[in-house]
Structure 1
Amino acid sequence: MIVRKRPNAFLLLFLLRGGVIQRIWVQLVMIGLMSLAIVTAHHFFPDVVRGVNPAPFALIGIALSVFLSFRNTASYDRWWEGRKLWGLMIQTSNDFARQSVVLDRDGVLNPARQALLTQVIAFAAATVRVLRPGEKKNIGDTPLARLSPPEAILTEMTAQLGQLLRDRQIEPSESYALNRHVATLCAAQISCERLANTPLPFAYTLLLHRTAYLFCFMLPFGFADFLGWGTPLAVMLMAYTFFGLDALGAELEEPFGLMPNNLPIAAYARAVEINMRAAMGETDLPEPIRPDRYVLI
């Protein structure tokens, strides 16, 4: 995720970090060269390469803009839902740490509480590994741990809470409250996996991609008579808008990836670790993950 103060209007024109120009510059160059070729052919061979009425392009452009807006709104909703789910996990982890203090006696950290909070740290880290592409997913020896490491950790936490209840170290009401937090962590983690494993219907992406390319390829024929040699610049500007929105929508569609505008779930997991270690009374806490060239991962 891009973390920086908003620069002034002049610097915004030249910023590359966090934009999509790096992903679409090849398409823009191709569109510009193709537009230049069409304008040149139209200039020297007007009877062979004819211009067309630009009016229909306005209607197509409006329809394409509406479709782009719909798709990008759906992608942003996925990004924002992922952010809310990780916020819920951080909040629930803090609630668990605060309510589990009933295990301590006379201000001394109970080893059982220390084990539970350590597992919360492991749960957050395992969730990052499951959601992030390219990370090792299957960790553990049991079938559940190989299938879903975060679920295996939560199951172990529930078993420990049950043992504490049987040993009369906690009351039934306290066990119920702590188990509710475990259930909330499980629900948030499963919802994150749903987002990661269920992309937007591929037909939307395919239709939008094809329509944007065809529109930009046909646009020089409509501008050649009116803009002349300025047609390539105008077409590249239009293509930058359409291709950029398409690329940004694809980036936000996968909120847990490693692109600059994806969610910094590793930083969220580190925040959980810091909070849990502080709750255990540790003073040598790990440093929060800092942005690298304005990008927080």
Structure 2
Amino acid sequence: MIVRPRPHWLHLLFVRHGSIIYRIFPQLLFTTGLAGVVVLAHGQLFHWKVTLTSSPFSLMGVALAIFLGFRINASYDRYWEARKLWGRLLIESRNLTRQALTLTSAGEGVREFALTQIAFVRTLRNQLRGLPRAQGLDGLIPKERIERLASARFAPSLVLLWLSEWVRDRRERGEIEPILAQRMETPLGGFSDVLGGCERIASTPLPFTYSVILHRTVYLYCMMLPFGLVDSIGLMTPIVVAFVSYTFFALEALSDEIEEPFGNMPNDLPLDAMTAGIEASLREMLGEVPAPAMLPDARYVLS
């Protein structure tokens, strides 16, 4: 995620990082160069005059903008839902740790419980980003459990099971009243909801056919546009084509980037920073000194 102060309006016009210009520059260069060739050829293709006007492009442009708007909205819905799920994970972990600290007599066992929650958050991040399941778990859970997670397909589910077993064991020892143990199952159920919601987003992309249709339409529109403009605006055709192409290519590239919100692209969710934030919050509740908050790198990217 790009985190930076909003630049001055003039500087904002020339910002490169985060504008997706690097992703679409080859396509933009191609369509602008094609427009220049069309101007030099006076709209002729192999000695055949392409008789197009701007009218059909006006109609097509409106329809294409609507389809691109739908794609952007659908992608942003996935992005925002993923962010809400991770926000809920922070809330539920705080609730669960607070209940363990105030409603039980588990003593030092509460620290083990909180560290296991941190392990759940880290394994969830690892699963969503395709990292080794047991990465970053040293010092949080016993070594034999780490070895078990290393070969697990759904590691967060196993950690969630261990959290429930902790509540059950304390209830059987009389360290938690049965009715209070039932209340602690509510945030654990929230953990399960977050896990299922993230898995649903990660495993269900937008329909591929829709992406193909939109991609083809955008490229055909931008490549045909010079033929409809050359007779009316002449030498200004490459400039107008470059502007229209940038708008359509950038919107398509942005929707494609935020469609998978758990990735490592500059505009994806900062799972590492959110994981560190949850860990810091729980450790502070345990009376420990948390690590400093993660800051964006030199390119304003928070991973």
Task: Name the TM tier (shorter chain).
Answer: over 0.9
1:210 aligns with 2:216: yes
TM-score between both structures, scaled by the size of structure 1: 0.93
2:7 aligned partner, one-letter code: P
Q: What displacement does 1:95 show?
A: 0.6
Q: Are residues 44 and 100 of structure 1, via their aligned partners in 2, closer, same or farther at CA, if it must alter by over 3 Å?
A: closer
CA deviation map 1:194-231 (0-9, x unaligned):
10111000111101000000000100000111111211
Partner of 1:55: 55
Counterpart secondary structure, 2:301 = coil
Aligned with residue 189 of structure 1, among 181, 189, 195? 195
CA contact (8 A) 1:41 1:49 kept: no
Partner of 2:13: 13
Partner of 1:247: 253
Q: What displacement does 1:122 show?
A: 0.6
CA contact (8 A) 1:271 1:288 kept: yes
1:275 aligned partner, one-letter code: S
1:136 aligned partner, one-letter code: P
CA contact (8 A) 1:144 1:152 kept: no
Q: Are residues 103 and 113 of structure 1, via their aligned partners in 2, closer, same or farther at CA, if it must alter by over 3 Å?
A: farther
1:288 aligns with 2:288: no
For 2:69 and 2:264, how far apart are their aligned partners in 1? 24
For 1:47 and 1:94, how far apart are their aligned partners in 2? 72
CA deviation map 1:110-138 (0-9, x unaligned):
221111100011111111111114x2247
Matches within 5 A, 1:1-297: 1-42=1-42, 48-102=48-102, 110-133=107-130, 135-137=131-133, 140-142=146-148, 146-283=152-289, 285-292=290-297, 293-297=299-303
Aligned length: 292
CA contact (8 A) 1:38 1:49 kept: no
TM-score between both structures, scaled by the size of structure 2: 0.91
Structure 2: which 5+ runs fail to align? 136-145
* Percent of residue pairs bearing the same amino acid type: 38
Partner of 2:138: none
For 1:86 and 1:175, how far apart are their aligned partners in 2? 24
Q: What displacement does 1:234 show?
A: 0.7
Q: What's the C-alpha RMSD, in Å, of the aligned pairs?
A: 2.0
CA contact (8 A) 1:270 1:289 kept: yes
CA contact (8 A) 1:67 1:208 kept: yes
For 1:120 and 1:143, how far apart are their aligned partners in 2? 14
For 2:270 and 2:281, how far apart are their aligned partners in 1? 17
For 1:196 and 1:113, how far apart are their aligned partners in 2? 32
2:28 aligned partner, one-letter code: L
1:231 aligned partner, one-letter code: T
